[in-house]
Amino acid sequence: MTWKMLNNASKFPEIAPAIKQYLYGHVKSRMAEIPVPDMFIAVFLPVERFKKQSMEYVWNNSKKVVR
C-alpha cells in the first residue's frame, strides 16, 4: 500500500487510530518486510511498546476515536 492509500483510509474512524507516520530518523528499531501470506498473523503479534502512556491508556483512547 502507498501512504496516500493509507492516509485516505484513515478517514474511517475504525482505521484512524492505527495509521501513523513516523520520521525515519526517529525510528530506532530494525524494520522487517512481512510477506503478504504472513501479514494476517503479524497483525495480531504483541509488539507495542509505548513510552509516554500505558498500553491501557492508548487502547482506551483508540476505542474513543472509533466511537
CA pseudo-torsion sign 36, 66, 46, 32:
positive
Calpha distance 18→15 (Å, rounded): 6
Q: How many domains does the chain have?
A: 1
**Given this model, what pLDDT does residue 1 score?**
73
Look up residue 19 and give its three cell numbers.
Answer: 495509521
**Given this model, what pLDDT does residue 66 score?**
76
Q: Give pLDDT tens digits for 6-52.
A: 888 888 888 888 887 888 888 888 888 999 999 999 989 887 878 88
For residues 19 and 9, the answer to whether their CB atoms sit within 8 Å is yes
For residues 19 and 7, the answer to whether their CB atoms sit within 8 Å is yes
Full domain range(s) for residue 13: 3-66
CA pseudo-torsion sign 12, 23, 28, 57:
negative
